[in-house]
Amino acid sequence: MKAIVAVIFFGYLGHTFAVFNYVLPTQCKNLDNKAKIAFDKEKFFEHKDWYVTHLKNEGNNPQCTKFVARIIQEENRKLTLEYRKGVKDFKCEGFKNPTEKHFCFVCDVTGQADKIKKFFTVIAVDAGYVSYALVYICNDAGSTISDNFLVLQTSRSNKLPSALNAALTTVDLKEKDLKSNNC
């Protein structure tokens, strides 16, 4: 009986660490010390659509992107994130790092052979997880690393939630640093 329990425990432990074996690239900001304390992934990811309404580094063609976030009930509460940017579809799977406060999503992108890793840190979110969030995201596409701060809202809006101002200062940003994403 002890052997069975030990095998199950070490199998689970091995699976937990095997699932998250991506290291945050040194070019990315490690904002775990600024991340939301007691972050509830269940409330944030479960059956919510989040719009990227504002961002720090705007591309050439701003467009309102919708993240479709879900938690798959099986398989250790796997997280999924899907979105479309331009003509590319991103289908991502991720797990929370058991020792850090960020998530890593591994994404399949239409038209690309290589997967992209997205490191995702929630800096702030409204109390009910129903309106807005400030997120830092760092993309690792192999030879290219890029990062950005995103404001996510559960409805389309060109207005930045005023309650985010305090969170912006914790990551050395001001409201004027964020551009509208034409939502």
pLDDT at 62: 73
Question: Any idea which residue has 């590319």 for tokens?
Answer: 88
Task: Count Cβ neighbours within 10 Å for each residue of 24-47 and write b for 16 or more, e otherwise.
Answer: beeebebbeebbbeebebeebbee
What would the DSSP string read from start to end of 52-75? EEEESS--SS---EEEEEEEESST
Question: Which residues of the chain are under the pLDDT cut of 70?
Answer: 1-21, 47, 59-61, 73-77, 96-100
Encoded tokens for 178: 């964020």
Pair 180, 62: CB distance under 8 Å: yes
Q: What is the dihedral of CA 122, 127, 133, 138, to 10 degrees?
A: 0
pLDDT at 9: 30
Q: What is the dihedral of CA 49, 76, 24, 84, to 10 degrees?
A: -30
pLDDT at 11: 35
Query: Which superfamily is assigned to 2-180 in CATH?
Result: Calycin beta-barrel core domain (2.40.128.20)
Q: What is the dihedral of CA 82, 87, 88, 89, to 10 degrees?
A: 30
Instruction: Give residue limits of the domains in the chain.
Output: 2-180
Q: What is the dihedral of CA 129, 134, 136, 137, to 10 degrees?
A: 60
Q: What is the dihedral of CA 104, 158, 128, 106, to 10 degrees?
A: -10
pLDDT at 58: 76
Question: Hey, is 18 helix, strand or coil?
Answer: helix
